[in-house]
C-alpha cells in the first residue's frame, strides 16, 4: 500500500508540469489569435468605410455637375463630404494610387490605373486594393490655390497615413476635358 502512495506522489509534479504546459500553449494560441482578429477587424472597418464611400460617390461620378478647375468663374462641382473613422493601426489609405507597391515602407503619390483605385493597409495585414471603374472614378489630390481647390501638380493620389477621424471632400471636377474626383481635407476652408 505504501508503494502505491509513493507512486502517486511521484506523478504529481509530472502532472502539474504537463498541466502548466497545456495552459501555456492555450494562452499562446489565444494571444496570437487575438492579434489576427484585431488585424482582421481593422481591415474590415476600413473596407466597410471605403465601400460606403464608393456607394456615395457612384451617382456623383456618373452624372454630377462638374467644375472646370482652369476657369475660376465656374460654379462648384457636385460634392460629397465623407467622415472616416479609421483604426489606430492604419498604415495608409490612398485614393488613386498604391503608395507602397514594393512593400518597402517608402511611400509615393504615383497614380495607379489613372486613379481608379483605393488602397489601404493596417499593421499586421497585407495591402488591400479596391478596383473601381476607370470611366467614372479618377481620384486626384487637391491643393488650395488662389481661393480655389485645384489638382496637385500633374495629378497625385491622396494619402492618409494615420488612424483617427478624418473628414474629406470629394468633388467632381474637369481639367482639359477630362473628368476627375478631387479629394481634399476640409481644413475649415470655404472651398
13/146 Cα distance (integer angstroms): 79
Q: What is the mean pLDDT of residues 24-40?
A: 83
| Paired sense of beta strands 90-95 and 79-86, if any | unpaired
Q: pTM score > 0.75 for this model?
A: yes
In whole numbers, what is the pLDDT of the chain averaged over residues?
85
pLDDT digits 0-9 by tens, 122-175: 998 889 999 998 888 889 999 888 888 888 888 888 999 998 999 999 999 988
Could you state, in order of their start, the residue ranges of all structural domains in the chain? 36-185
Structure confidence by residue, pLDDT tens digits, 80-95: 999 999 999 999 999 9
Amino acid at each position: 500500500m505504501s508503494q502505491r502512495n509513493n507512486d502517486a506522489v511521484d506523478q504529481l509534479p509530472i502532472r502539474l508540469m504537463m498541466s502548466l504546459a497545456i495552459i501555456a500553449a492555450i494562452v499562446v494560441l489565444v494571444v496570437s489569435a487575438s492579434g489576427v482578429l484585431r488585424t482582421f477587424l481593422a481591415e474590415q472597418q476600413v473596407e466597410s468605410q471605403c465601400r460606403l464611400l464608393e456607394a456615395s460617390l457612384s451617382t456623383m461620378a456618373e452624372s454630377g455637375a462638374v467644375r472646370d478647375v482652369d476657369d475660376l468663374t465656374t460654379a462648384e462641382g457636385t460634392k460629397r463630404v465623407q467622415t472616416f473613422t479609421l483604426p489606430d493601426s492604419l498604415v495608409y489609405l490612398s485614393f488613386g494610387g498604391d503608395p507602397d507597391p514594393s512593400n518597402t515602407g517608402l511611400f509615393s503619390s504615383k497614380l495607379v490605373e489613372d486613379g481608379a483605385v483605393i488602397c489601404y493597409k493596417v499593421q499586421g495585414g497585407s495591402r488591400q486594393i479596391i478596383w473601381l471603374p476607370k470611366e467614372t472614378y479618377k481620384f486626384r489630390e487637391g491643393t488650395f490655390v488662389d481661393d480655389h481647390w485645384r489638382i496637385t501638380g500633374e495629378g497625385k493620389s491622396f494619402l492618409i497615413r494615420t488612424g483617427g477621424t478624418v473628414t474629406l471632400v470629394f468633388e467632381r471636377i474637369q481639367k482639359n476635358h477630362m473628368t476627375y474626383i478631387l479629394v481634399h481635407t476640409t481644413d475649415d476652408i470655404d472651398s
